[in-house]
């Protein structure tokens, strides 16, 4: 189905012209002819002559019938194409007043907003254009044109930088491109939709699918040159640098010199280690566009690879003069200073960045410099490392800002630097646990467990009686008699047991971090050791081993620990610990409803088999219809009440990007976006899998 005629358009136009010759007063035929002219102008490269023809015939109908909705739509749409926005809006407003459910009118209104926005009209914005296109999709769900328009309005982000917000828009645009393709878009439009779908796949790192789409377009004369460039980018991102060079050079042979393409070609050569070719490609780019930033960046990296730091720094400084938020260029300048050992420059740069922070904008779009400054501070702190002079420089810089967030971040950096240095000293002591053990030292090991190797922590448990006897003499001096010596050994045994208990907990702390990073290999040996200690050690050390296993999510260990605690009347302490460290149960997490699961929507009462999908948790369920309603009324439903908690995720207002209250139920933005994206992602996945 289509909103406008496309198939056999030339034949349709000829047929309607003949009918008009015989029936010049037939308004129905004339409006149909005007719509066909509009289709030729908008979709088939007809241009301004066909827009004027469509407008002329629509106006002839309006002279006889000023309230003819179809003629008003065609006239308004034609005027939009001719950039005559004021009369176009009048015609479209009249059409929508007469026929509010006319999908063509909403489609034309979306194009009006799109055109007005490009011309800087204050009465138009992107949101209104998207809403109008969404209305057209709702009113004509089986037509390809509104889906294609909505996809183009939602656009596609820079493939090199996808934010959380742009990722959601990209999901939506990809979904509507697929819907347009499934609704039999004409061949010329199909190629454009496939190309945009491929760019979206590249942006989401779906490189195999992007490769298939762009390879398919190599057979299309209109898109084969652009497809070669995109294939170059796909291969560059996937690490197939020789293929990237091949496609980028083919593109240049067909399209001529382009600075952006030469810069990407230089990047591919740089990755291959062909520095001379990389420099040549970048110089070609700069001969086309002397201001091209990426070409200067890649050329600077080539200079770094050749050891020509001064020339590289000069280029990086040029980039920073134009784009102060270009963190990679700043990192290279800092790296050059660090390689030279210029600590004074690094200290001064740290002070300068911190001192300037308070003068930067706090919120809104103008707040970007603060985010850039934080990134630069991160680069400087990494370059300074954990040395003593770095800690002193960080602590001195704290007083140069009143921003509590930045002050806390700097304080954390100082603590981390001190921790790294202390951990380095501890590694030496852990290698000889028979001399290093002590309760105080064990507390330090527990505090720094994340920075200590797991094998050293396991070795630190190895203390025998000989170590205790030697320590009793070395730490306490010669004993007066055998009894005094035995008391000294007993004291050392208590110190050693405290040390071992704390090291067992340190192993769990280290393992819990590895588990959070999905590194199960690093925790398997530690878990086996803890299980052995819980079974073989005496009761008190077994308790420590079981507490450590609880940190790793071991439920039987928690039960054993609770049984021991109950005998002492302190079971509540174990329950409190488990509540603090246990991972949240799956029942408390929100997720798309599983096949066959029967739930009822909390807000509208629909059953799960009556809706396409539903987001559910143990506490609530929200169907896709309600999620769509929330999405369409985000601004009206949003709340900043700090007491509101999402019914599905449990997040508070300060923990989410936005909170909405819909029919008395609070739902956060993450739940809405994930729920709306479920069906869209599935549809896109099915289409791409069938390529």
How does pLDDT run across 150-207, given as a tens digit for each residue? 999 887 545 555 455 577 788 889 999 999 999 887 877 889 999 999 999 998 889 9
Pairing of strands 591-592, 621-623: unpaired
The tokens 């002819």 sit on which residue? 33
Write the class of the CATH domain 1-154.
mainly alpha
Q: Where are the beta strands (DSSP E) in 558-632?
A: 591-592, 614-616, 621-623
Q: How far is CA 172 from the centre of its chain?
A: 15
Closest CA to 193 of 175, 178, 207, 209: 178
What is residue 332's predicted lDDT score, i.e. its pLDDT? 94
CATH level 2 (architecture), domain 291-399:
Alpha Horseshoe (1.25)
Topology alike, domains 1-154 and 291-399: yes
User: In whole angstroms, what is the distance from residue 345 CA to residue 112 CA?
Assistant: 55
What is residue 11's predicted lDDT score, i.e. its pLDDT? 92
**H-type helices in 82-163, by residue range?**
85-98, 103-118, 126-139, 144-154
Instruction: Please tell me the pTM assigned to this model.
Output: 0.76
| Beta carbons of 509 and 446 less than 8 angstroms apart | yes
User: In whole angstroms, what is the distance from residue 121 CA to residue 664 CA?
Assistant: 38
Number of helices and strands in the chain (H, E): 34, 6
Closest CA to 664 of 637, 624, 642, 636: 637
What is residue 165's predicted lDDT score, i.e. its pLDDT? 56
Domain boundaries, the chain: 1-154, 173-256, 291-399, 431-583, 588-689
User: In whole angstroms, what is the distance from residue 302 CA to residue 516 CA?
Assistant: 38
Sheet-wide strand order for 591-592: 591-592, 614-616, 621-623
pLDDT digits (tens, 9 = 90+) for 484-493: 888 989 999 9
**Residues of the chain where predicted confidence (pLDDT) is lower than 50:** 157, 162, 365-366, 516-522, 583-588
Give CATH superfamily name and number for 173-256: Tetratricopeptide repeat domain (1.25.40.10)
What is residue 363's predicted lDDT score, i.e. its pLDDT? 57
416 burial level (CB within 10 Å; 0-12, 13-18, 19+): middle
């Amino acid at each position: 189905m289509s909103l406008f005629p496309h198939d056999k358009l030339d034949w349709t136009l000829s047929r309607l012209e003949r009918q008009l010759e015989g029936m010049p007063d037939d308004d129905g035929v004339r409006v149909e002819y005007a719509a066909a002219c509009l289709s030729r102008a908008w979709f088939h490269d007809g241009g301004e002559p066909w827009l004027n023809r469509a407008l002329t015939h629509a106006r002839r109908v309006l002279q006889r019938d000023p309230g003819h909705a179809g003629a008003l739509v065609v006239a308004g749409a034609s005027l939009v194409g001719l950039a005559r926005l004021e009369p176009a809006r009048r015609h479209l407003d009249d059409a929508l007043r007469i026929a509010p459910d006319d999908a063509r009118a909403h489609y034309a209104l979306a194009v009006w907003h799109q055109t007005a926005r490009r011309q800087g009209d204050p009465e138009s914005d992107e949101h209104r254009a998207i809403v109008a296109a969404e209305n057209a999709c709702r009113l004509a769900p089986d037509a390809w044109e509104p889906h294609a328009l909505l996809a183009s309005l939602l656009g596609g982000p820079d493939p090199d930088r996808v934010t959380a917000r742009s990722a959601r828009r990209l999901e939506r645009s990809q979904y509507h491109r697929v819907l347009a393709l499934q609704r039999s878009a004409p061949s010329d439009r199909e190629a454009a939709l496939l190309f945009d779908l491929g760019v979206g796949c590249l942006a989401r790192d779906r490189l195999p699918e992007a490769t298939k789409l762009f390879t398919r377009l190599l057979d299309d004369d209109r898109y084969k040159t652009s497809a070669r460039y995109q294939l170059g980018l796909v291969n560059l991102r996937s690490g197939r640098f020789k293929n990237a060079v091949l496609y980028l050079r083919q593109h240049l042979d067909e399209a001529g010199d382009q600075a952006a393409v030469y810069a990407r070609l230089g990047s591919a050569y740089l990755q291959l280690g062909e520095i001379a070719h990389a420099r040549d490609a970048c110089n070609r780019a700069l001969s086309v566009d002397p201001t091209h930033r990426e070409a200067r960046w890649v050329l600077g990296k080539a200079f770094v690879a050749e050891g020509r730091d001064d020339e590289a720094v000069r280029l990086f400084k040029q980039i920073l003069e134009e784009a102060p938020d270009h963190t990679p260029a700043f990192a290279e300048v800092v790296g050059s200073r660090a390689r030279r050992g210029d600590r004074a420059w690094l200290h001064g740069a740290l002070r300068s960045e911190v001192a300037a922070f308070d003068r930067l904008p706090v919120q809104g779009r103008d707040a970007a410099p603060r985010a850039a400054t934080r990134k630069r501070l991160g680069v400087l702190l990494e370059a300074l490392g954990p040395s003593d002079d770095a800690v002193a420089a960080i602590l001195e810089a704290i007083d140069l800002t009143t921003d509590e967030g930045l002050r806390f971040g700097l304080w954390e950096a100082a603590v981390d630097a001190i921790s790294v240095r202390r951990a380095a000293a501890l590694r030496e002591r852990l290698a000889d646990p028979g001399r290093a053990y002590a309760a105080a030292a064990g507390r330090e090991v527990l505090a720094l467990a994340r920075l200590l190797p797991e094998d050293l922590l396991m070795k630190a448990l190895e203390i025998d009686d000989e170590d205790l006897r030697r320590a009793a003499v070395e730490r306490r001096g010669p004993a007066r008699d055998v009894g005094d010596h035995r008391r000294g050994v007993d004291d050392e045994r208590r110190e050693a047991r405290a040390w071992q208990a704390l090291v067992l907990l340190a192993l769990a702390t280290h393992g819990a971090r590895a588990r959070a990073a999905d590194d199960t290999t690093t925790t398997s040996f530690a878990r086996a050791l803890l299980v052995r200690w819980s079974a073989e050690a005496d009761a008190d050390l077994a308790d420590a081993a079981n507490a450590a296993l609880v940190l790793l999510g071991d439920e039987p260990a928690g039960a054993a620990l609770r049984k021991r605690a109950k005998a002492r009347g302190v079971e509540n302490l174990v329950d409190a610990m488990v509540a603090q460290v246990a991972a949240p149960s799956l029942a408390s997490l929100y997720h798309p409803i599983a096949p066959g699961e029967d739930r009822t929507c909390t807000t509208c009462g629909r059953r799960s088999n009556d809706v396409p999908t539903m987001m559910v948790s143990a506490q609530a369920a929200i169907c896709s219809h309600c999620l769509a309603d929330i999405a369409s009324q985000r601004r009206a439903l949003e709340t900043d009440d700090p007491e509101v908690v999402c019914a599905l995720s449990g997040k508070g207002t300060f923990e989410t990007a936005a909170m909405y209250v819909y029919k008395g139920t609070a739902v956060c933005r993450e739940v809405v976006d994930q729920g709306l994206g479920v069906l869209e992602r599935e549809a896109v996945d099915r289409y791409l899998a069938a390529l």
